[in-house]
Amino acid sequence: MPEVSVAVDIPAAPETVWAVLTDTEAYPQWNTLLSVSGKYAVGETVTARLSIPGLPTVPISPEIVAVEPGRVLRWRSRLFGIEAEHAFLLEPLEDGQTRFVQREQFSGAMAGPVVSRFERRIRRGFEQMNVGLRRRAVALRDGELR
């Protein structure tokens, strides 16, 4: 099963990172990868637009499969015959920081060839989102956001 995973350490508590991750109304201010509307609750389907660098923006309708505040948000989606499970993972670090990991696992007959062809772009999209999340969480931590 092909997988793309990207991590970043954020100098903010998991609760702060979670607050940024789940504030979908603020995504246009920092998130270049996703726009999302809907509720992050297990069993809910959200409406999203995925903007991977260098590719057309595509609509997706992922189903939320796990929500553990401050720790895990996972959803499943299907696009062009490929099943994908995306995980946003928040791992507390000893020094009060958070390791934020985005991981997408792909399945389906075309998953291998498609991921091989677009892995660099997918990875770049994850990295850009992670940088934006980090900046926003630090600003929230420092009281620059309300």
Domain range summary for the chain, segments of one domain joined by +: 3-141
Question: Options 3.90.1720.10, 3.40.50.300, 3.30.530.20, 1.20.1730.10; which CATH number does 3-141 get?
Answer: 3.30.530.20
Contact criterion met (CB below 8 Å) for 126 and 101: no
Q: What is the value of pTM for the model shown? A: 0.95
Mean pLDDT of 123-128: 98
pLDDT at 139 (0 to 100): 97
Q: What is the pLDDT of residues 11-48, one digit of tens each?
A: 999 999 999 999 999 999 999 999 999 999 999 999 99
End-to-end CA distance of the chain: 41
Extract the tokens encoding 97: 């920081």
Q: What is the pLDDT of residue 145?
A: 83
What average pLDDT score do residues 56-76 get? Answer: 97
pLDDT (average), residues 124-130: 98
- Order across the sheet with 34-37: list the strands: 34-37, 47-50, 58-60
